[in-house]
Chains A and B, each alone.
Chain A
Amino acid sequence: MSRYRKIFNPVFTAFLLLVSLSFYQKSYAADGEALFKANCANCHKPDKDYTGPALQGWKGREPSADWIYKWIANPPALIASDPYAKAMFDKYKIQMTPFPQLKKEEIDAIMKYVDDYKPPVAPTSPSGQPGGATDNTLIFGILTMVLALIAFVLLQVNTNLRKLSDEKEGVLRPEPVPFYKNKTYIMAAILVLFSVGGYFTMEGAIGMGRQQNYQPVQPIFYSHKVHAGTNQISCLYCHGGAQDSKQASIPSVNVCMNCHKAISKYEGPDVLEREDGTAVNGTAEIEKLYAYAGWNSTTKAYNPDTNGDGIPDGASPIQWVKVHNLPDHVYFNHSQHIKVGKQQCQTCHGNIQEMPEVYQFTELSMGWCINCHRDTKVDFYNKKDSTGNKFYSIYEKFHNDIKKGKMDSVTVENIGGTECQKCHF
């Protein structure tokens, strides 16, 4: 036994190490993905030329090792001085926006994501391998059932055989109890029923009040995929409140009309479909918007305001259905997360730019909030080179601890982000 233990310990440690390493790699890659989508995806694709060049294979192309950092920080300067940059500018005819705010390690993360990127493989046939995980569970479930059945049959056979042999030898035994009256079987059945039922009961009880995947039908089929994905409109163009206030703010109709005064027909390229697969007529949806705005699409003018209420006749606000609802006893502030915490919208709302109809991506439960507050590092003020959020210059103890090497970064939890009254007051 002790020999096994000797082998087991190092093997187990190695396994743990591997698991944690794989998680570390994963989070690193995910970070690069978020940064890429937030900063680069407007003009670059990892594997295809777009507004700018395809980024994969950058290592072989760039003239020197730190060229990429210089380029991202200040493209105009490089175009003026560096022949390679000049050639690229001549080829794509557009100058890249400078990103001086990207740190070296952030650029590394982005480039690592780009190198590791593989285009999503579309399933070739409906009988392919999509949903392999669920298939496996089903197989395991069936296997367990079959094994249980075999065990049951074998037990019955065993009883019968013993009965036969007893009769042969002339041993008198009481008649065996039928299995539905056998207390062991009944007990086992009850245990199974309670654990399975208990599991679903717990799941249901915890899930009550949470709205993950909630995807209401909206008054207008507004596709975030078309607007934020294909047409690359910034989230903050419409939801500007997210950087200044508690509410992310739903855009008023005039914001829609900024573009839709000119765009009155939907011309693709995305195919508009509801979740159940029914087709949507994009132009008809834009007509719905015109009705709300009081805009006459034939005369290209707002309806006159005859009743003097300050809005065109027939105009009314659009009553969008709220998707994300936090309970009234929780305080949540968008600007605190977007402006101060510099979080991406996608962290909590998922890949909105790929959703035809918006659904709630995360569970928005307290455990989910707390986990993120535990893991997320704040932009702690660095006294040496005075970078980071200056507000944190007052945290004397953490500054001392960092100096002594007791801690290397400060999480939201460290600065009180998991205190009850931070969100419940």
Chain B
Amino acid sequence: MKRITLFTAILVTMIMVTISSCGSKRNPGRIYMPDMAYSRAYETYALRDSNIFTSDPADLGHKIFYNNQPVNGTIQRGELFPYTLPNDSIGYKMSAQVLNPLGPWTKADSLEAGRLYNINCAICHGATGVANGPLSAKIGAIANLTLPLYVSMADGTMFHSITYGKNNMGSYASQLDRKQRWMVIKYIRSLQPKAGAATTAASATAVTDSAAAKKTK
């Protein structure tokens, strides 16, 4: 009798484990110890218990206020100072006087700037800045950065546009920090034709492109 009980127990365990292990791929399946698998501490993106936490300043008295935002005015160590010009027409005009704070840079810096440009900008503006990125046709009205308009545009104005967005372009402040934005601007300068000198093939195309653009205008 005892033997039969033991045998049945083993069989039942086997069947249960097998059943629990083959769920559909739409559900995450079972785990041994949920409190070890899922963090008890509040992790990035985890939902917070709304009985304890709040992001609404009106609930301040009886709940813990937490809204994922750094305290206003916080500057990360080594970070550039915040850009204070407002997102309006006056700010846009004044931005031309803001200078690129980056000093001379090494080959590694320019490689890094090119990498950032290729990830964030080339998708529309194209790897060479002539507005031929994979998404350029779908979004439309992409700036050809090699046109004289952008060659003569001040660094600060470019920074203003990247920070707040301009026309079809959104704000890139959440994807590039301030230093990275300045780096990208410096890299764009290297894609643009130098005034008067059209020696390399890259600037040669840029010139023909801009000439063509002028004709259509």
Contact = CB atoms under 8 A, between A and B. Distances in A.
A132 interface: no
A200 B199 CA distance: 70
Interface in B25-42: 25-32, 36-41
A233 B128 contact: no
B168 A208 contact: no
Contact of A204 (B21, B135, B168): B21
B14 A197 contact: yes
B28 A101 contact: no
A191 interface: no
Interface stretch (A118-126, A152-160, A251-259, A342-350): A251-259
Given A76-B200, A263-B139, A233 B123 contact: yes
A255 B18 contact: no
| Size bracket, chain A contacts | 35 or more
Contacts of A89: 201
A395 B29 CA distance: 43
B102 interface: no
A322 B45 contact: yes
B2 to A, nearest CB: 17
Interface in A207-246: 207-211, 213-217, 231-234, 236-237, 240, 246
A211 B119 contact: no
A231 B134 contact: yes
Contacts of B91: none
**Prevailing SS type, chain A contact patch:** loop
Given A201-B14, A231-B134, A95 B44 contact: no
B140 A262 contact: yes
Contacts of A327: 36-37
Contacts of B21: 203-205, 207-208
Interface in B109-149: 111, 118-120, 123, 127-128, 132, 134-135, 138-140
A262 B168 contact: yes
A261 B31 contact: no
User: Among B37, B47, B128, which residue has the most Cβ atoms of chain A within 10 A?
Assistant: B37
Interface stretch (B79-87, B93-101, B169-177): B169-177
Nearest to A100: B111
A247 interface: yes
A215 B26 contact: yes
A329 to B, nearest CB: 6
A214 B25 contact: yes
B61 to A, nearest CB: 19
Interface of A: 42, 76, 79-80, 89, 93-95, 97, 101, 197-198, 200-201, 203-205, 207-211, 213-217, 231-234, 236-237, 240, 246-247, 249-250, 252, 254-255, 257-259, 261-263, 267, 275, 319, 322, 325, 327-329, 359
Given A259-B135, A319-B47, 6 more contacts: A204-B20, A207-B29, A208-B31, A209-B30, A214-B27, A275-B25
Interface of B: 11, 13-14, 17-18, 20-22, 25-32, 36-41, 44-45, 47, 111, 118-120, 123, 127-128, 132, 134-135, 138-140, 168-172, 174-175, 199-202, 205
- Which 9 pairs from chain A and chain B are nearest by CB? A204-B21, A258-B170, A209-B31, A204-B17, A79-B201, A262-B139, A328-B39, A232-B134, A234-B119
